[in-house]
């Protein structure tokens, strides 16, 4: 599918976009909103056309089917997610700072109002092989990006580094997603800091205020050492 960058606050000010590309971008933004609100199966091309303020024939001029439109959105989001995480790592120095940048990027992507990240990881259409492949692709690309940095900094083999990177990425993604689902119970900066401490120092870094079963479990390694 032709790539059209559609997540932009200033589409009207982008002279490099033709009228057709601009219309296509606007349709994709409207479709993203509808898919996120209703899911793939409950959303219809009528819903999307109405949201975009166009007739359904015009929508079909740009996208042959609802599935083609949905996959187009996911493809664009995969590219953006990988690029943003890669840039966040490249723009910092020091391993701890790089890890913090990657974790922060996960949280901010999930928190982003454009909802693209949430659409990828909480789709009701993930049983579709094409959708599943795109979801797996973003996980693999991000893990390879982080793994390459881990290998460079530690001297690990690529295989070893990728396993570690997969664990780090999974932790960041799961923590950020849980933070969102719990209704953002603490400031995003604090959530990032806590996740960073856990990833960097392990469970022994988690502060406890009193002796309890939970505290004992968290410091089990210390007590056994």
Provide DSSP, 85-133.
Answer: HHHHHHT--SHHHHHHHHHHHHHHHHH-TT-HHHHHHT-TTTTSHHHHH
Q: What is the CATH number of the domain that holds 211?
A: 1.10.357.10
Q: Which of 39, 64, 89 is a domain's end point? A: 64
Please report whether residue 7 resides in a domain. Answer: yes
Distance (Å, whole) CA 5 – CA 214 = 47
Mean pLDDT on 59-64: 92
Query: 194 and 89: one domain?
Result: yes
Q: Which of 64, 83, 117 is a domain's end point? A: 64
Residue range(s) defining the domain that contains residue 47: 1-64
Q: What is the CATH number of the domain that holds 13?
A: 1.10.10.60
* pLDDT averaged over every residue in the chain: 78
Please state the pTM of the whole predicted model: 0.65
Lowest mean pLDDT among 23-32, 68-77, 138-147, 203-212: 203-212
Lowest mean pLDDT among 2-11, 66-75, 117-126, 202-211: 2-11
Q: How many CA atoms lie within 13 A of 191 on its CB side?
A: 25
Q: Looking at per-residue confidence, does 171 or 80 come out higher? A: 171
pLDDT, tens only, 1-58 = 344 444 544 444 455 667 777 888 889 889 988 988 888 888 999 999 999 999 999 9
Query: 212 and 154: one domain?
Result: yes
């Amino acid at each position: 599918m032709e790539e059209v960058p559609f997540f932009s606050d200033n589409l009207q000010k982008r002279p490099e976009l033709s009228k057709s590309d601009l219309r296509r971008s606007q349709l994709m933004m409207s479709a993203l909103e509808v898919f996120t609100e209703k899911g793939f199966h409950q959303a219809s091309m009528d819903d999307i056309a109405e949201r975009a303020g166009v007739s359904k024939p015009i929508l079909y001029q740009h996208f042959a089917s609802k599935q083609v439109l949905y996959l187009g959105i996911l493809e664009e989001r995969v590219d953006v997610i990988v690029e943003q995480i890669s840039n966040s790592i490249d723009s910092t120095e020091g391993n701890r700072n790089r890890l913090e940048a990657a974790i922060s990027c996960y949280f901010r992507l999930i928190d982003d109002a454009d909802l693209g990240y949430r659409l990828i990881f909480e789709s009701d259409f993930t049983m579709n092989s094409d959708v599943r492949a795109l979801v797996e692709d973003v996980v693999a690309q991000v893990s390879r990006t982080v793994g390459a940095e881990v290998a460079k900094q530690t001297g690990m083999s690529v295989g070893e580094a990728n396993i570690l990177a997969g664990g780090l990425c999974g932790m960041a993604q799961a923590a950020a997603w849980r933070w969102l689902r719990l209704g953002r119970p603490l400031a995003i900066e604090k959530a990032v800091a806590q996740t960073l401490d856990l990833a960097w120092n392990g469970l022994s870094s988690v502060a406890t205020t009193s002796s309890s079963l939970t505290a004992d479990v968290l410091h089990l390694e210390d007590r056994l050492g």
